[in-house]
Amino acid sequence: MADICDDAQAAEAYVLQAALAGVPRIDLGPGPLFLGGVACCRTCLEPIVSARLVAVPGCSHCRDCAEEAQGG
């Protein structure tokens, strides 16, 4: 059974996807996809944390998507 936190999280995800749908995408080739000036994962479109961008320059996916793609 969903509680108020689950409902809030689902609403937040819906609003985020609706907002991202209206943001122009700038594809600069390899590396992250820039949505509204924010470096985002090419798979899930979530922002990539700055620590990952520093640790893995030019990364195009967030850690979770990169691990999933590698079978982990």
How do residues 32-41 score in pLDDT, each as one tens digit? 988 888 999 9
Sign of torsion over alpha carbons 38, 67, 43, 11: negative
Which of 39, 23, 20, 19 is closest to 31 using CA atoms?
39
Length of the chain: 72
- Domain regions of the chain by residue span: 25-72
Per-residue pLDDT tens listing for the chain (72 residues):
678 888 888 888 877 777 777 766 665 578 898 888 899 999 999 999 999 999 998 899 999 999 998 886
DSSP state of 31: S
Dihedral sign of CA atoms 30, 36, 41, 47 in order? positive
- Its pTM stands at 0.59
Under 8 Å between Cβ of 32 and 53: yes
In whole angstroms, give the CA distance from residue 62 to residue 18: 20
